[in-house]
């Protein structure tokens, strides 16, 4: 074969390869454009719901006015706020791959991915598949539904999509301003009550209370939050009736500000608030702080002066 023929064959191969590459690029042109992931604005006040589906599990965040629920439970303001902040894409995502063959490896396939949809005005305005975490901190792989482009997303969205229901729930059990409390009632093995007059606290039986210690107790309920959640069955597991304690905080005119029941069981310490069906897990080691015995709120006896030495 002559040198001229070889040059012709080589040129033909180069043209064929260039044509194939061009066709490949054009076939994914829309994906590359969409690879920039210019999402429509995702604002809390304009969002009806956010649904995240993973396998057989579905998580639904639903807005009701300014409040949110997650699968029927009260959702926490902080985690919901974090999610909306995560949609603000301040860094342009990098195009990591443009091939369905990479879906499984990067976790954006139908079985591994977290399918996230934002609903607004009854329409899904954002449809994403959240994939695996990337080696870089706070980053992971994302693609649009129907797109072959896999993007490297930098931010918290990938982590947030993996949260379980309880991680979205509102952990606040109660919030009472200490200055609004005029009475404290504790039911336990030794029940007692406290009443406030001005800035002075006394026991209902007439004895003096240590106002500083009472103030410390009330400070716990300024923002009383759970460490987790449980079920009624967990709270009842191995429960001893004698271990139950209740606390009620009353306001001006006898208004009920907060009523709590604490149950110790073999699975932990559980709190229930009157009028609330949730079962909250609280720190068992702090039970005597949450519902202290009356002795913990009495004035400390003055120290006795030392007797003078006799010579």
pLDDT, one tens digit per residue, over 129-172 is: 999 999 888 899 999 999 999 999 998 999 999 999 999 999 99
Among all chains, which residue has been given the structure tokens 């975490």?
A: 133
Give me the phi and psi of 300, to 5 degrees please.
-75, 125
Q: Which domains does the chain have, with CATH numbers?
A: 34-168 (2.60.40), 172-297 (no CATH)
Indicate the pLDDT class of residue 210, thresholds 50, 70 and 90: very high
What tokens appear for 63 in the block?
């807005």
pLDDT, tens only, 291-309: 999 999 999 877 665 566 6
Q: What is the pLDDT of residue 91?
A: 75
Indicate the pLDDT class of residue 126, thresholds 50, 70 and 90: very high
Whether residue 28 has pLDDT greater than 70: no
Minimum mean pLDDT among 51-60, 229-238, 242-251: which range? 229-238
Average pLDDT, the chain: 87
At a CB cut-off of 8 Å and minimum separation 6, what does 86 contact? 155, 156, 157, 160
At a CB cut-off of 8 Å and minimum separation 6, what does 199 contact? 211
How confident is the model over 71-99, as a mean pLDDT?
90
- Helix ranges (DSSP H) in 176-309: 211-220, 232-236, 287-290
Q: What is the pLDDT of residue 108?
A: 96
According to the 3-state scheme, what is the secondary structure of 127-165? Answer: EEEEEEECCCCCEEEEEECCCCEEEEEECCHHHHHCCCH
DSSP string covering 53-83, please? Answer: EETTEEEEEEEETTEEEETTEEBPHHHHHHH
pTM of the model as a whole: 0.80
Which pairing describes strands 94-98 and 149-154: parallel, antiparallel, or unpaired?
antiparallel
Cβ–Cβ under 8 Å, residues 171 and 225: yes
What tokens appear for 181 in the block?
């409390």
């Amino acid at each position: 074969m002559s040198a001229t023929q070889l040059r012709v064959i080589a040129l033909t191969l180069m043209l064929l390869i260039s044509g194939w590459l061009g066709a490949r690029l054009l076939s994914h042109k829309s994906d590359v454009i969409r690879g920039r992931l210019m999402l429509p604005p995702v604002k809390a006040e304009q969002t009806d719901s956010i649904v995240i589906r993973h396998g057989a599990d579905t998580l639904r965040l639903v807005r009701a006015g300014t409040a949110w629920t997650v699968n029927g439970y009260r959702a926490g303001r902080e985690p919901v706020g974090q999610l909306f902040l995560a949609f603000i894409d301040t860094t342009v995502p990098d195009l990591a791959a443009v091939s369905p063959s990479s879906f499984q490896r990067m976790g954006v396939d139908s079985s591994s991915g977290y399918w996230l949809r934002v609903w607004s005005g009854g329409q899904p305005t954002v449809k994403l598949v959240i994939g695996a975490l990337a080696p870089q901190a706070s980053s992971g792989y994302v693609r649009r539904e129907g797109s072959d482009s896999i993007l490297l997303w930098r931010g918290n969205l990938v982590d947030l999509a993996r949260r379980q229901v309880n991680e979205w729930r509102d952990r606040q059990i109660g919030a009472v301003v200490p200055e609004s409390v005029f009475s404290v009632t504790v039911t336990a093995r030794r029940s007692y009550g406290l009443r406030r007059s001005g800035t002075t606290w006394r026991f209902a039986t007439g004895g003096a209370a240590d106002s500083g210690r009472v103030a410390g107790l009330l400070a716990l309920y300024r923002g009383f939050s759970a460490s987790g959640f449980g079920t009624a069955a967990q709270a009842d597991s191995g429960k001893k009736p004698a271990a139950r304690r209740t606390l009620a905080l009353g306001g001006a005119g006898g208004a009920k500000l907060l009523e709590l029941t604490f149950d110790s069981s073999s699975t932990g310490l559980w709190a229930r608030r009157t009028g609330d069906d949730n079962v909250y897990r609280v720190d068992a080691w702090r039970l005597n702080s949450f519902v202290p015995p009356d002795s913990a709120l009495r004035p400390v006896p003055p120290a006795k002066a030392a007797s003078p030495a006799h010579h």
